């Protein structure tokens, strides 16, 4: 039995020897894996560079240079200062004079004059006035004040300003640094953790030492409350209706296409909408987290509806069939069976949506939340929504644009706080998702 055909078509190679075709396939596979690893390494590298640069530039924001001096304000001085128009300057004047006398008494071996002290101290009047207005019983008593030093003194300790680069200007002179050194060794000037940065509100452009991100964290928090409270129910209701109840016709098709389109609309457009509708037609307050939240809700909605629908679609039809089979109504099927199974997917979409909303600056530009908003903390829960406030990304943007380099590190420090806020939000969502996760 000679089977010439078979011998002709039979492979010449055996399984044990690798032919060129197999070799090529295996090489391609190996190459692909290498590409994948390279892609991941590049991604991680960028992430590492980003993280390192943020932390390196942002960490100085968390320390500040203070001048610690014991100071007694007399009742006469208090009354005299309160009578003036520019009261805080009067307080700063008393404080500077007291410091000057004290330094002369101590006998530092460098020259001290009033102008130099003024340049070394930051803007102190506001803090002093606030303290005595709140603690009138302390008038006449010695009080140890810890006041922020001027931006350039702070920069000297953080390496921003050095003897080589410092140009004599009205902000700081080279001789001032000798005084700063002397005060440092006398323990009057030192560096402490910057609580003001975490708890405070924005400060004027000439006072980087007094700037804090706390108020805008509160602003962002209230905005996120509005976004969460509106976009979650509206978004989920819309996606359930579209996915489970709506008839398939031209109108629903039209709506679907438009939701996808809205997800791609640049965010600034929502800002214009917010200005013209919420502020000018509905007369909601300007610069308020409520309006910011409403604008961001509009922006976030399509971004929540799309993944929510995908999550609903991913629930196996057998679940619905089984529920309907045992006699559940359509609404019972959706709320008792489909929605709980879709919750993890919906939460993922929600977190991505909220994360985007949290970092958004452009729409806030037009409703007055970007700029100088330094009202401090709102008086109550409702006021939190309506009082003018900024938001974290807006605050960071504002700081980055200021002339004084002291604000630059504040901007980076703000980014660290923003990332911590975002991370907390994400961790919460992951925990919730774990709780709801069900496998089938």
Closer to another protein by CB, 188 or 243: give it.
243
**Site for another protein (CB under 8 A): which residue of 65, 196, 207, 333?**
207
- Residue 404 makes contact with another protein by CB under 8 A: yes
Report which of 263, 294, 299, 266 is spatially closest to residue 367, judged by C-alpha positions: 294
**Site for another protein (CB under 8 A): which residue of 114, 405, 423, 427?**
405
* Cα gap 107→53, rounded to integer Å: 43
Instruction: Answer yes or no: are the C-beta atoms of 136 and 105 closer than 8 Å.
Output: no
* Cα gap 232→214, rounded to integer Å: 26
- Residue 290 makes contact with another protein by CB under 8 A: yes
Rounded to 5°, angle at Cα 195 from 73 and 151:
75
- Residue 375 makes contact with another protein by CB under 8 A: yes
Stretch that binds another protein, among 14-22, 45-53, 394-402, 418-426 (CB under 8 A): 394-402
Number of amino acids touching another protein (CB under 8 A):
62
Number of residues that this document lists for the chain = 440
Query: Which residues contact residue 408 at a Cβ distance below 8 angstroms, ignoring those fewer than 6 apart?
Result: 57, 399, 400, 402
- Residue 205 makes contact with another protein by CB under 8 A: yes
**Site for another protein (CB under 8 A): which residue of 373, 391, 415, 417?**
373
Q: Tell me how far, at minimum, the Cβ of 227 lies from another protein, in Å.
A: 10
Q: How many CA atoms lie within 13 A of 373 on its CB side?
A: 32
**Site for another protein (CB under 8 A): which residue of 96, 124, 196, 203?**
203
> Dihedrals φ, ψ of 149, to 5°?
-80, 165
Closer to another protein by CB, 64 or 152: give it.
152
Query: Which residues contact residue 292 at a Cβ distance below 8 angstroms, ignoring those fewer than 6 apart?
Result: 219, 223, 226, 274, 363, 364, 367, 369, 391
Rounded to 5°, angle at Cα 49 from 43 and 53:
150
**Site for another protein (CB under 8 A): which residue of 36, 43, 142, 204?**
204
**Site for another protein (CB under 8 A): which residue of 153, 223, 226, 341?**
226
- Residue 372 makes contact with another protein by CB under 8 A: yes
- Residue 85 makes contact with another protein by CB under 8 A: yes
**Site for another protein (CB under 8 A): which residue of 371, 377, 419, 430?**
371
Q: Tell me how far, at minimum, the Cβ of 321 lies from another protein, in Å.
A: 25
- Residue 359 makes contact with another protein by CB under 8 A: no
Report which of 196, 201, 189 is spatially closest to residue 152, judged by C-alpha positions: 189
- Residue 401 makes contact with another protein by CB under 8 A: yes
* Cα gap 309→329, rounded to integer Å: 20
Q: Tell me how far, at minimum, the Cβ of 233 lies from another protein, in Å.
A: 4
Stretch that binds another protein, among 54-62, 79-87, 106-114, 266-274 (CB under 8 A): 79-87
Stretch that binds another protein, among 38-46, 163-171, 246-254, 256-264 (CB under 8 A): 163-171
**Site for another protein (CB under 8 A): which residue of 131, 206, 355, 430?**
206
When computed from its CA atoms, the radius of gyration of the chain, rounded to whole angstroms, is 32
Burial class (CB in 10 A: 0-12, 13-18, 19+), 285: middle
Q: Tell me how far, at minimum, the Cβ of 250 lies from another protein, in Å.
A: 28
Cross-strand bridge partners of residue 142 = 72
Strand order in the sheet with 189-193: 142-148, 63-72, 189-193
Cross-strand bridge partners of residue 193 = 63
- Residue 117 makes contact with another protein by CB under 8 A: no
Provide the binding-site residues for another protein, judged by CB under 8 A: 84-89, 123, 125-126, 129-130, 161, 165-167, 169-171, 203-207, 226, 229-230, 232-234, 236-237, 279-280, 282-288, 290, 294, 365, 368, 370-376, 382, 385-386, 388, 398, 400-405
């Amino acid at each position: 039995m000679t089977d010439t055909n078979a011998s002709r078509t039979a492979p010449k190679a055996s399984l044990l020897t690798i032919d060129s075709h197999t070799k090529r396939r295996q090489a391609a596979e190996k190459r692909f894996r290498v590409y994948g690893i390279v892609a991941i390494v590049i991604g991680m590298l960028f992430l590492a560079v980003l993280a390192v640069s943020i932390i390196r530039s942002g960490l100085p924001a968390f320390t500040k240079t203070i001048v610690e001096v014991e100071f007694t304000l007399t009742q006469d001085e208090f009354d005299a200062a309160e009578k003036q128009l520019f009261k805080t300057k009067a307080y700063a004047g008393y404080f500077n004079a007291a410091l000057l006398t004290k330094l002369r008494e101590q006998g530092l071996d460098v020259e001290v004059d009033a102008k130099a002290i003024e340049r070394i101290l930051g803007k102190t009047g506001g803090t002093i006035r606030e303290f005595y207005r709140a603690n009138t019983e302390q008038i006449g008593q010695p009080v140890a004040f810890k006041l922020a030093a001027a931006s350039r003194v702070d920069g000297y300790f953080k390496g921003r300003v050095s003897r080589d680069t410092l140009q004599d200007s009205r902000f700081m002179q080279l001789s001032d640094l000798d005084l700063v050194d002397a005060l440092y060794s006398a323990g009057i000037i030192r560096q402490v953790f910057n609580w003001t940065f975490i708890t405070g509100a924005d400060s004027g452009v000439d006072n980087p030492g007094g700037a804090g991100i706390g108020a805008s964290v509160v602003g962002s928090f209230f905005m996120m409350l509005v976004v969460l409270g509106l976009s979650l129910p509206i978004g989920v209701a819309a996606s359930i209706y579209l996915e489970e109840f709506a008839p398939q016709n031209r109108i629903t098709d039209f709506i679907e296409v438009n939701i996808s389109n809205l997800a791609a609309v640049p965010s600034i457009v929502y800002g214009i909408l917010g200005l013209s509708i919420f502020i000018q037609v509905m007369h909601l307050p300007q610069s308020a987290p409520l309006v910011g939240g409403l604008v961001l809700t509009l922006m976030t909605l399509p971004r929540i509806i799309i993944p929510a629908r995908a999550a609903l679609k991913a629930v196996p039809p057998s679940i619905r069939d089984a529920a309907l089979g045992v006699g559940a109504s359509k609404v019972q099927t959706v709320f008792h069976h489909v929605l709980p199974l879709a919750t993890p997917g919906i939460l993922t979409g929600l977190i991505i949506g909220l994360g985007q909303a949290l970092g958004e600056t452009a729409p806030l530009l037009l409703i007055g939340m970007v700029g100088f908003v330094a009202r401090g903390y709102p008086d109550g829960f409702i006021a939190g929504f309506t009082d003018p406030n900024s938001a974290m990304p807006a605050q960071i943007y504002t700081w980055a644009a200021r002339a004084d380099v002291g604000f630059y590190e504040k901007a980076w420090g703000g980014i660290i706080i923003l990332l911590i806020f975002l991370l907390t939000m994400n961790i919460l969502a992951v925990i919730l998702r774990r709780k709801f996760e069900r496998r089938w």
